């Protein structure tokens, strides 16, 4: 089945808007959207996808790292390490642009999952980076605003 979701590209305004929280009663109605988001993220070779990237102004994101799926609704970073890593990052909404970003090495995130259950995620490495990136999207922030240096991926001819 063809996925009808479209990736919103920079400089669309929705990418710079802080998203609204999702009420618990809304969560059951999001199951199809969540599955479509995972499908679209995989089609685009992404690690994560936030709702504003598909034009939805809600605090919802999906992440897949090492074949482990993380659906985060109304996520909050409740702890982050003082130790930082400078990491290369890209974004499906800012195609072919990459940059170096300083991110916390470890984070603890609290959120609701796709069933409305409270979850706590302790993460490091790529998962910590993806969580911070997607939560930034939900707060209306793009990686290009935080990057130390940006560069363009050139296509081989």
Locate 142 and state its tokens: 């793009």
Catalytic site includes residue 124: no
Mean pLDDT score across all residues of the chain? 96
Pairing of strands 60-65, 68-80: antiparallel
- Quickly list H helices, 44-141: 125-138
Instruction: Please report the beta strands in the chain, taking only residues with DSSP state E, as ranges in sequence order.
Output: 48-50, 60-65, 68-80, 84-91, 94-104, 106-112, 118-124, 149-152
**Whole-number pLDDT of residue 43:** 97
**Percent of the chain topping pLDDT 90:** 94
What's the pTM?
A: 0.95
* Superfamily holding 13-152: Peptide deformylase (3.90.45.10)
The set of residues, in sequence order, having a beta carbon less than 8 Å from that of 27 and lying 6+ positions away, is 73, 112, 114, 115, 116
Read off the pLDDT of each residue in 97-106 and give the average, rounded to a whole number: 98
The per-residue b/e assignment along 47-67, b for 16 or more CB within 10 angstroms, e otherwise, is bbbbbbbbebebbbbbbbbee
pLDDT recorded at residue 3 = 77
Residue 156, pLDDT > 90, answer no
- Position 82 scores a pLDDT of 98
Comparison of pLDDT for 1 and 85, the residue scoring more: 85
Per-residue pLDDT of 75-98, as tens digits, reads: 999 999 999 999 999 999 999 999
Q: Give every CB contact of residue 139 below 8 A, 6+ residues apart in sequence.
A: 18, 19
What's the pLDDT tens digit per position in 26-74?
Answer: 999 999 999 999 999 999 999 999 999 999 999 999 999 999 999 999 9
Residue 117: pLDDT above 90?
Answer: yes
| Alpha-carbon span 59 to 6, nearest angstrom | 18
* Active-site residue (options: 134, 145, 152, 155): 134
């Amino acid at each position: 089945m063809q996925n009808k979701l479209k990736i919103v590209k920079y400089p669309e305004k929705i990418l710079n808007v802080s998203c609204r929280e999702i009420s618990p009663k809304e969560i059951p109605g999001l199951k199809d959207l969540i599955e479509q988001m995972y499908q679209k993220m995989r089609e685009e070779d992404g690690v994560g996808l936030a709702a504003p990237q598909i034009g939805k102004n809600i605090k919802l994101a999906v992440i897949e790292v090492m074949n482990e799926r993380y659906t985060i609704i109304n996520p909050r970073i409740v702890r982050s390490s003082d130790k930082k890593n400078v990491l290369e990052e890209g974004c499906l909404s800012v195609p072919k642009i990459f940059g170096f970003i300083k991110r916390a090495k470890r984070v603890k995130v609290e959120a609701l999952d796709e069933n409305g259950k409270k979850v706590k995620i302790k993460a490091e490495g790529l998962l910590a980076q993806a969580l911070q990136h997607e939560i930034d999207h939900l707060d209306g922030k793009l990686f290009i605003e935080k990057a130390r240096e940006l560069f363009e991926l050139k296509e081989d001819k």
